[in-house]
Structure 1
Amino acid sequence: MFAGHDPILIALSVVIAILGGYTGFGLAARVRSTGIAGRRMFLACAAFFLAVGVWTMHFVAMLAAPIPLHATYLVLPTVVSFLICALVMGISLFFVSLGEPSHMRLVVSALLLGLGIASMHYVGIHGLSGSFHIEHQRRMIMASVAIAVGAAYGGLRIFVDRHGGMRLALSATAFGIAVSGMHFTAMHGMRFVPETPFDHAASGLAVSREALALIVSPLCFLIVFGFLLLLVPEPVSRALNSAPAGQADTDAIYAQAAALDGSTPDSAAAQMEQGRLRHRIEGGPSGVAAVTRVPVEGADGTRFVEIGQIRSIKANAHYTLVHDGRRERMCPWAISQAEARLDRATFMRVHRSHIVSLPLVSLIRKEGDGAVVELDGEVPHLVPVSRAKIAELRARLGLVKRGV
């Protein structure tokens, strides 16, 4: 498949696809925490970076391919291939961002996006002009379309599940490799059949490989710039700046407690200070009563999840991820804020980064120095338990033994 290809450009094309996927889906994931105007901007930027990433990967890989000498690229099909990619990216992201997307809507969006990526590839391929014509193997066309649809489904699942951090990086890597695999699968089933210049005359404005390289190079830098920009942490002080005066002290306490979550677990002073702050939150004059609902961010705004539906809460930077038995959704609260506001008779913090609903624990077992618990739901999931919390957790679950 790679005979005659430039290995450096092949590697660059795969990296570009991965960075484009990470940037695009990372931007799309931030839709949940913005207003209506911000959502439109993030969706547009996400579609743009995904389209640029996939399109640039395609043409970097074309520069790596051993195409006939003196071949040129027709401008119109090349531009149309990018517009197809940008259009289907935008439509697919918008389609799955409307409310809570069903599985069927996700599948339809992935099918549309996959067919769009494949169309972009073949339109771009037939923008090649020279004394040849191109033939394709039908089975390779079908295989490349299947890979494109699978990559699209995985990418949209990233967006729907609101992955972040390492999970987003791993998913974007899989997406980039899959999109690149689609391209090289299609190229493997393609061959150039020589013709005389009189049999195949170019029609329309065309550019050389060198000119295409000059166009693709700045796009590569643009994708890298967007990726690096996405790594900049989101501001977390906007809510504090606009909070009512009556909540300023409480919010400041939450901020201090959240900061102490980064302390060394064995730091007795840090643990005592956390306890003091939580006592101020729960029992002070402006104490916070246990809540019955938890806010979660969606593409259509802020929704509220009843505490009876919550299986676990996981720290995610300055925010948390709430698992409702099907998937994780972002909550604007920090982990300490969630712990302070939830009913401690029902919820327990079993790890510095995890809170679980005790009535929904269906399994507990030893794992390494700590333990893990399984939470019931349509999609059961495991949560780690730190060694220091095992005895307390077992006691609260009604287990008399101290070991696991």
Structure 2
Amino acid sequence: MAYLDYTHNPGLVVASLLVALIAGFTGLSLTKGLSERGLLQRKLSIAMASIALGGGIWSMHFVAMLGMQMPTLFYYDAAVTLASALVAILVVGIALLILHFRPRTPQMLVLAGTIVGLGVLAMHYIGMAGLELCRALYTPSGVALAVVSSVAFNIAAFACAYGQRSHRNILLGTVCFGVAVFAVHFIALWGTSFVAVEASTEVGPLIGNEVLAIGVVLTSFALCGALLLTGVTFLTPSPAAKAHPSERDKAQEPSGDKPTAESAKADAQPSPAPDTDTQPVTTTQIPYEQEGRSFFFDASAVAAIRAEGHYTHIYTKTGKFFCAWSITEAEKRLSPGVFTKTHRSYLINPAHVASFERLKDNGVCHFDLAALPKVPVSRARLKQVRAVLGV
């Protein structure tokens, strides 16, 4: 059995890397700030990000395949080629749903990266199975290396992009994702040999490089358009950051029965959130976002603050609200003595604790809040929390 020699067109190799980077930036940017959006918007953004990332994986693969030159004609089965694209979009969608609808723990990041890593390889090998008049042969060592590298690279990409949802981390995650998809393709090819075959086993109609090139160009064009749209949003500062600090007004949280959203807005004057790029200053007001506007609660009315990625949620008797502060910034900005840290992800106001439960080597603070009935107390902070609560 004679193996076919093949070479790569350097220009298309570079183009494949650019496609992967464009897809990575577009997909990761589309999912930024989803925690402050409604359920329907979150689902729609995840769907678009899945198409961008999954479509980018597929486009990168076939741009690189267009650049592969062999001494024989070969075609692609259209049905199998389409299936490879759908697989890529599906696995990315599953990973993003995990990251945005489950607690974003290190274990979830590893799980999402593993799913996408295996999905990239599934797309690659399904796409290779669509070759006609030419068959790909694999070695166990080549497949094993491709699996390990794909999973490791994609875990690193998601850890970078989702460790903290900052612009810097998204750009770093973009580079990691683009390089991961690009490297995995060529690592998998390194362990692959090709032989010419006469029989055709097509499931659907055959397509040649010319038709495939048109499909890849259209897909890449769509990705570039999405890149421009997300790039404008990515670079545009939020209205709160552009507002002048002198416009800030304070407002107290309404007391008594649970107010509606309209009454909360009537009792609180809109004001821009604090500029997180400047040195934090001590304050007794906590900003929250609602329907595109920024309001304030008095710190004494807030029962707890919980980290949510690079942002936080604040909990009061009236419900849960999104806050643009990180948990670290909340610690720095709030007046000393009002809040106590019980866990790396939680700050509590001891005045709102209804009861305390001591467990083996940690504890739980219970609240009379529908949105947050209890808060964990880590072993390292158990002694401090008990002292504050006087138990």
Query: Is the structural similarity TM-score above 0.5?
Result: yes
Amino acid at match of 1:244: K
Q: For the residues of structure 2 that align with 1:280 and 1:114, how far apart are their CA atoms? A: 44
Deviation at 1:122, TM superposition (A): 0.5
Query: For 2:145, what is the secondary structure of its paired residue?
Result: helix
User: What is the one-letter code of the residue matched to 2:223?
Assistant: I
Alignment-derived partner of residue 207 in structure 1: 207
Correspondence 1:292-303 to 2 at 5 A = 293-294=304-305, 296-297=307-308, 303=313
> Which of 185, 188, 208 is matched with 1:186 structurally?
188
For 1:343, give the aligned amino acid.
S
SS in 2 for 1:73: strand
Q: Does the 8 Å CA contact 1:25/1:158 hold for their aligned counterparts?
A: no
Distance 1:322 1:287, change over 3 A: closer
For the structure 1 residues 42 and 204, does the alpha-carbon distance in structure 2 shift closer, same or farther, using more than 3 Å as the test?
closer
What CA distance in whole angstroms lies between the structure 1 residues aligned with 2:191 and 2:221? 31
Distance 2:206 2:237 in 1: 43
Work out the CA distance in 1 between the residues paired with 2:31 and 2:228.
16
How far residue 125 of structure 1 moved from its aligned partner, in angstroms, is 0.9
Give SS of 2:76's match: strand
Aligned to 1:122: 125
Residue 26 of structure 2, aligned match among 23, 28, 35 = 23
Query: Which string of whole-angstrom CA distances, capped at 9 and with x for unpartnered residues, describes residues 51-102 of structure 1?
Result: 0111111111111112344211110110110111111111122123333144
Aligned to 1:247: 268
- Give the conservation status (yes or no) of the 8 Å contact 2:87–2:119: yes
1:296, distance to aligned residue in structure 2 (A): 4.6
Structure-2 residue corresponding to 1:34:
37
2:312 and 2:326 in contact (8 A); partners too? no
Q: Deviations over 1:100-155 (max 9, x none)?
A: 1444444333333222211110110111112x322122211111111211233123
- Structure 1 CA distance, aligned partners of 2:108 and 2:97? 11
CA distance in 1, matches of 2:84, 2:285: 60
**Quick one: structure 1 residues 37 and 86, their matched pair in 2 at CA, closer, same or farther if it must change by over 3 Å?**
same
Following TM superposition, by how much is the alpha carbon of 1:14 offset from its aligned partner in structure 2, in angstroms?
Answer: 0.9
Shift of 1:42: 1.4
- Equivalent residue, structure 2, for 1:164: 166
Number of the residue aligned with 1:54: 57
- Structure 2 length as normaliser, TM-score? 0.65
Sequence identity of aligned pairs in percent? 27
* Matching residue's letter, 2:226: G
SS in 2 for 1:100: coil
Letter paired with 2:224: V
Q: What's 2:178 paired with? A: 176
2-structure distance, mates of 1:287, 1:294 = 12
Contact 1:23 1:227 in 2 (8 A): yes
TM-score normalised per structure 1: 0.63
Matches of 2:97 and 2:285 in 1, distance apart? 44
Superposition deviation, residue 234 in structure 1: 7.1
Residue 89 (structure 2) aligned to one of 77, 86, 99: 86
CA RMSD of aligned residues (A): 3.9
Question: Structure 2 CA distance, aligned partners of 1:280 and 1:208?
Answer: 64
Gaps of 5+ in 2: 241-247, 249-260, 287-295, 317-322, 340-346, 348-377, 380-391
1:350 maps to which residue? Answer: none
Checking the alignment, whether the CA contact within 8 Å between 2:154 and 2:180 is kept in structure 1 is no
CA deviations 1:202-242 (Å, max 9, x no partner) are: 553011101111111121122222222222137546xx998
Q: What SS does the aligned partner of 1:84 have?
A: helix
Is the contact between residue 28 and residue 159 of structure 1 (CA under 8 Å) also seen in structure 2? no
- Equivalenced residues, count: 299
Letter in 1 for 2:99: V
Of residues 108, 128, 135, the one that matches 1:133 is 135
- Partners of 1:184 and 1:305 in 2: how far apart? 49
Contact 2:16–2:61 (8 Å) recurs in 1: yes
Deviations 1:281-325 (A, max 9, x none): 9xxxx99456563365469x974489xxxxxxxxxxx944334xx
Task: State whether structure 2 residue 348 is matched by structure 1 residue 343.
Answer: no
Which structure 1 segments of 5+ residues have no match? 266-273, 307-317, 324-334, 348-356, 358-376, 379-404
How far off its partner does 1:180 sit?
A: 0.7
Q: CA deviation at 1:38?
A: 1.1
Cα distance, 1:17 vs. partner?
0.9
**Structure 2 vs 1, CA of residues 341 and 178 (structure 1 numbering), >3 Å: closer, same or farther?**
closer
Q: Which moved more, 1:75-84 or 1:150-159?
A: 150-159
Distance 1:136 1:208 in 2: 23
**SS state at 2:151 partner:** helix
The question of whether the paired residues in 2 share the 8 Å contact of 1:147 and 1:179 is answered with no
Q: Which residue of 2 aligns with 1:321?
A: 326
Q: Secondary structure at the match of 2:194?
A: strand
In structure 2, C-alpha distance between the alignment counterparts of 1:38 and 1:346, rounded to whole Å: 35
Deviation (angstroms), 1:344:
4.8
Instruction: Give the secondary structure class of the aligned counterpart of 2:327.
Output: strand
